[in-house]
Amino acid sequence: MVKENAKTLLEINNLQIRFGGIKAVDGLSLSVKEGEIVTLIGSNGAGKSTTMKAISGMVKPFAGEIIFGSDNITGQAPNVIVSKGITMVPEGRRVFPNLTVLENLKIGAYLRYDNLTNDIDYVYSLFPRLRERSWQLAGTLSGGEQQMLAVGRALMAKPKLIMMDEPSLGLAPIVVAEIFEIIKEINRQGITVVLNEQNANMALKIGDRGYVFETGRISMSGKCSDLANDPKVQEAYLGKSK
């Protein structure tokens, strides 16, 4: 839900990330306003995941800056970034298989010292199936349930911004639809969302604005509705021929 005069929440200027000689991200700039759902699309290896990892502090940028609110968070440790209000749902869900569902939620709130009861209840109200499996080890959940748990876990830190890396990967369409409904619901609660989504069709439907990644740079950006109607995007990412 974007307000008329929404402020910029996240701003990336001229970000560069290198792995040895590979320029995974090469002079990339983008911005995210409070309350938006911003989608990142682009082919495999274009640098979307790497950009998200830089925002969350998991990889150190080679150059450029990442500003969150009024703080420069470039190159900060992940615990600092989580405490500022950015969490991530990593690619492949990465729930802790040897922890229970409830513990996976609690560990999402690792840096918090206040009472978690209400927040756990909130996550369980979003995903009733998780409540039933509260005491089960996360490794025994289905892929869809693990994805729900990964989203719930990311909510537990009470983030201002939540990033999701390919949340629909490998899931049945009905489960994907359910997760996208939840993404909208989370956003209605005022949380800003950055979504990296392979399924560009869905991504452009749910998002307010989008960025198209190409070899470590932004090749196009704009309102999702405009991008969806752009012939180049349609041909390259939406599987429509001219």
Partner 1 sequence: MESILAYLLAGISYGGQLALIAIGYTMVYGILRLINFAHSDVFMVAGLFVIYLQTAVGFYVAIPAAIILTVVLAFSIEKLAYKPLRSAPRMSVMISAIGVSYLIQNVAMYITGGLPKVYPDIPLFTESVEIFGASTKRVTLLTPVLVIVLVVALVLLINKTKIGMAMRASSVDFETARLMGIKINNVISMTFIIGAVLAAIGSMLYFSNYNSISPTSGAMPGLKAFVAAVFGGIGSIPGAVVGAFIIGICENLLKMVGLTEFSDAFTFALLIFILVVKPTGLFGEKQYDKV
Q: Using CB under 5 A, which of the segments 17-25, 43-51, 153-161, 186-194 binds Mg ion?
A: 43-51
Task: At 238, give phi and psi (nearest 5°).
Answer: -105, 5
Based on the shown chain and the rule CB under 6 A, indicate whether residue 214 belongs to the binding site for ligand ADP. no
Q: 12 and 63 in contact (C-beta within 8 Å)?
A: no
Between CA 143 and CA 169 the distance in angstroms is 9
Candidates 5, 44, 70, 115; binder of ligand ADP (CB under 6 A) is: 44
Of residues 6 through 25, those in contact with ligand ADP by CB under 6 A are 19, 22, 24
Based on the shown chain and the rule CB under 8 A, indicate whether residue 96 belongs to the binding site for partner 1. yes
**46: which 2 tokens?**
């274009």
Based on the shown chain and the rule CB under 6 A, indicate whether residue 92 belongs to the binding site for ligand ADP. no
**133: which 2 tokens?**
């499996």
Based on the shown chain and the rule CB under 8 A, indicate whether residue 107 belongs to the binding site for partner 1. yes
Q: 148 and 129 in contact (C-beta within 8 Å)?
A: yes
**CA within 13 Å, CB half, 199:** 15
Residue 46: which of ligand ADP, partner 1, Mg ion, none does it interact with, CB under 5 to 8 A by kind? Answer: ligand ADP
- x/- mask, partner 1, residues 40-59, rule CB under 8 A, reads ----------------x-x-
In the chain, the amino acid numbered 168 is S
Which chain residues interact with ligand ADP by CB under 6 A? 19, 22, 24, 42, 44-50, 213
